[in-house]
Structure 1
Amino acid sequence: MSSGPDPRHDRPIFVLGCPRSGTTLLQLMLHSHARIAIPAETKFLIPAYARRCEFGDLEDRENRRALAEWITTDRSTKFHALGLDAAEVVEEVAAGPPTLGSALGIVFRAYARRHGKPRWGDKRPSYFRHVGTLLRMFPDAQFVHLVRDGRDCVASLMEMPWYDKDVYHAVSAWREAIDRGRRLAQRLGPDAYYELQYERLVADPVDELTRLCAYLGEDFDPAMTRPEGLAKRTVPPRKKWHGRTHDAVTTSRIGSWAERLDPWQISLAEAAFGERLAEYGYEPSGLERPSAAQLARFAKTSTHRRMAQRKAALRERWKQHHEPNPVRCLLTPAPDSAPDSVPEPVPEPVPESVPEPEPAAGPADRTESAESVQGG
C-alpha cells in the first residue's frame, strides 16, 4: 500500500503492450481511479511528434496555434472523443510553453481537468515501440507494460476485423513486445517501468492493482476493480472487440488459444516464443514443432519487420538533428537526471530461441538470429 500520492509532480502514465493483451481493461481500471484520467486510445501524440518539423518554430505563437488546430480539427486525431472545447484548448496551447511536449501535455491536462483529476495518462499498445519518443517529450513518465500469454494475444488478433496481417506478423508482434520490455526494464529501472501479467490481474485484481498503485505513487482505489460500469458508459457497442469490458472482470478467457488457434499456429507461436513463455509461467502445449517451411516464412516476416524498424530509427535520428525546438514538456519540473535527448535506439540484438530451418530454406533462416523488432 502506498503511503499517499506523490506530491512532487503529476507524472504521465503510459499503458503499453502487445495488441489484445488487455490494455483496454487496464486503461478502464486506471481511469476509474479518483486521481487518474486515461482516455480511450488517442491518435495524435506520436503523429504530432512525427510531424513536428512541419509546424515550424514553436517560439512563434501562431505556429503553436497551428499545431493546436491540427490536433483539434483533424479527424485522424480522435480529439473529439475527449469531450473538450476545441477553441479553449487552442488558446491554451497558443499561450503555453514553446515545445511540442508542452502542447500535447496541455491537451491531456485539459482532459484530466474535465474529470476533476490531477493526473493524466494515455494508452496505446504500440507505445512499446515509442518509449524513447515519449521520454523525449515527458522525461518523468511512468510506463506500465501489460503482458498476456502470447498465444491468447495471437488468437485474439487473428479474429479482429481491423487486423489485416497474418499469423506470422501476429507472432512477431508479441515476441517484439516481450523483447523490448526486457530492454526497457533494464534501461528505465523500477521507478519508470512496471510490468504485470493479464492473468494475474484478472485473477486477483485487488492485489495486482494495489501493487500497481504503489509503483505509481498512488493509494489503491477500490473503484478500479469495477471497470465494467465505466466501460458501459464509454466503450461504444460498435467496438465489439471490446465488448467483454462491459462484464465483470473474469478469468474465462485465459488459455482460450487452445480452441481458437489451429495446431500448426500453436506450434509456430511456441517455437517463435521459445523460453519467453516459460519465463512468465505459460505451459507449452506439447505439440510437434512447426515445419521448416513455416519457420522460414516466420523468419522472412520477422526480418522484413526488423529492417523497417531499423530504417525508421535511422530516419528519426536524422530528424532530431533538424527539429526547430526542444520537444520536452515544460509544464512540470523535469527529473534531475533527465537528458536533453533520448533518441529511439536502433534495436539491439536479442538472442534467438527459434532453431533455424535447414540451410535449404534459403537466406531468411540466417537473418533470424538477429534481434526482433517491428510490432503489430
Structure 2
Amino acid sequence: MAISGIQIIGTQRSGSNLLRVMMDQSDQIASPHPPHILVTFIPLLKYYGTLDRVSYRRLVKDVVNYVNANPVPWEGVLLNEEEIFNQSERYHLLEINRLIYEQAALSKKAKYWCCKSMANVHHADDMEEFGLRLKYVYLYRDGRDVACSFKKAIVGEKHIYHLAKQWKYDQEACLRLRASLPEDRFYSLNYETLITAPENEVNKLCQFLDIPYHEDMLKFYDSKTSRLTAAAGEMWSNLEKPIIRNNTGKFLKEFKENDLEIFELVAGEVLTALNYELYAETKEQTLLDDVHLDQYIAENEFLKKESLLTARKSDLENRAAQLQIIKDIKAGIPA
C-alpha cells in the first residue's frame, strides 16, 4: 500500500492538536505529536556541512534521537536509524522527515501519515520541489484568539504586535500556497466552524482525504494519545475534555489597552480576507511608529523570559532533552 502524507498548516494555538488527535482516531491516519523536524533542523544544517555518507548518517542519528526525546512519545513507533539511512534515496533532511513519518504510518498500517508542524508552510516550496505531493490541511482561527492563547503558552511571541505579525505572516503563506495548488491537494478548515459543527466538518475532511468517517474521531478525549499529550504540557490539557464549543471571541474580554487596535492595524486585512469582523473603532497609525516598535520589542523579550520563569516545572523538564540535543549539535558534540 502506498503511503501518502498530510501536512497541517497555519499558526499554532489554532486547535491543531485537537485536529491532530481527532485525525489520529482514524485507522487510516497516523498523526503523532510533532517534534518539528524541519523547523528545528533546517537552521542546524550548517553544522553538518555538505551532506555526504558520513555527515548524513550523523544527521539521521541526531534527528532520530530528537524525535525519541519528544515531550509526547510516539506510541508504538520504533525508529531504526540504520534502516532510515539505508532506505534514503537522497541525502536530504526532507528524506529523513518523510521516512520517519512513514514509519509511523507503517506501524499503524495506515494510509496516511500526518505532520502537525504548522510552520512547515514556510518550507512548502522545498517540499513541493522535493516531490512529496502532500495534501495540505489549512486550519485557521481568528488571530486575535490565537494571540490570547499564545500569551498564556510556554512557547511563542508574547507582545500583541509580534503575535499579529506572526499570525499575518503564516496566513499569507497559507493563502499563497492555496492559490498555487489544485483543489484536491488543499483543504481549508475554519476552527470556529470545526468546534461548533464538528461532525459535519470532520465528515467533510474525511471526504477530502477519501477515508471513512468514524464517530470515534469525536471521542478523541478518551484516547491514549490525548492523555499522553495532555500529560506532557499544560497548554494541551484541554485534549482530555470534549470539544469546548464556545471557545471563541475570547479576545473581546482578554485584550487590554491598545491590543485590539494594534492587532487590527497589523493584520486587519488578513482578518477581513478570512471573513472575520473587525472591532477596533479607531486605528491610530502612530501605534506602529519606531518609538512604539522599540518598546514592543523590549516588552516582548521580557514577557518571553517571564513565561519561562513562571512555567510549570514539569513542562520545562519535558523539553529539556530536546534542547540538550540542539546544544550538543551546535557545540559539535557527537550523539
TM-score bracket for this pair, using the shorter chain length: 0.7 to 0.9
Against the structure 1 CA distance between its residues 80 and 66, is the aligned structure 2 distance closer, same or farther, given a 3 Å change threshold? farther
- For residue 258 of structure 2, the aligned residue among 247, 260, 264 is 264
- C-alpha distance in 2, partners of 1:16/1:115? 23
1:283 correspondence with 2:274 = no
- Structure 1 distance, partners of 2:215, 2:100, is 28
- The one-letter code of the counterpart of 1:283 is E
Provide structure 2 residue ranges, at least 5 long, that are not aligned to the other structure.
298-335
State the structure with more CA Rg: 1
8 Å contact from structure 1 (residues 13, 143) kept in 2: yes
Correspondence for 1:82 = 74
Contact 2:196 2:246 in 1 (8 A): no
Three-state SS of the structure 2 residue aligned to 1:262 is coil
Secondary structure, counterpart of 2:231 in structure 1: coil
1:253 has 2:247 as partner: yes
Q: Which residue number corresponds to residue 236 of structure 2? A: 242
Instruction: Say whether the 8 Å CA contact 1:151–1:257 is kept in structure 2.
Output: yes
Aligned residues: 290
Amino acid at match of 1:224: M
Identity %: 20
Name the CA distance, whole Å, in 2 between partners of 1:185 and 1:298.
Answer: 37
Tell me if the contact between 1:65 and 1:93 (Cα under 8 Å) persists in the aligned partners: no
Structure 1 Cα separation of the partners of residues 12 and 26 of structure 2: 23
Q: Give the one of 168, 174, 183 matched to 2:176.
A: 183
Alignment match, 2:289:
296
For 1:65, the equivalent position in structure 2 comes to 57
Per-residue CA shift, 1:267-315, capped at 9, x if unaligned? 2222323243334332232x432433313259968xx9xxxxxxxxxxx
What displacement does 1:42 show?
1.4
CA distance in 1, matches of 2:56, 2:169: 36
Question: Could you tell me how far apart the structure 1 residues matched to 2:189 and 2:237 are?
Answer: 23
Structure-2 separation of matches of 1:187 and 1:299: 37
Q: 1:124/1:297 Cα in 2 relative to 1: closer, same or farther (>3 Å)?
A: farther
Distance change in 2, residues 1:166/1:114 (3 Å): same
**Structure 1 or 2: more helix by fraction:** 2
- CA distance in 2: counterparts of 1:284 and 1:298, whole angstroms: 26
TM-score, normalised via structure 1 length: 0.69
* Range with bigger deviation, 242-251 or 291-300: 291-300
String of CA shifts for 1:152-196, please: whole Å, max 9, x gaps: 111111222333542111011111222222211111131222111
Question: How far did 1:25 drift?
Answer: 0.8
Task: Normalising by structure 2, report the TM-score.
Answer: 0.77
SS of equivalent to 1:282: coil
- Match status 1:43 vs 2:30: no
Give the letter aligned to residue 252 of structure 2: A
Q: Which residue of structure 2 lines up, in the alignment, with residue 94 of structure 1? A: 85
The within-5 A match list for 1:128-207 is: 128-207=121-200
Residue 248 of structure 1 aligns to a residue whose secondary structure is coil
Structure 1: where are the runs of 5+ without partners? 1-6, 305-376
Q: Do the aligned partners of 1:16 and 1:125 also contact (CA within 8 Å) in 2?
A: yes
- Structure 1 residues 97 and 10, CA, compared in 2 at 3 Å: closer, same or farther? same
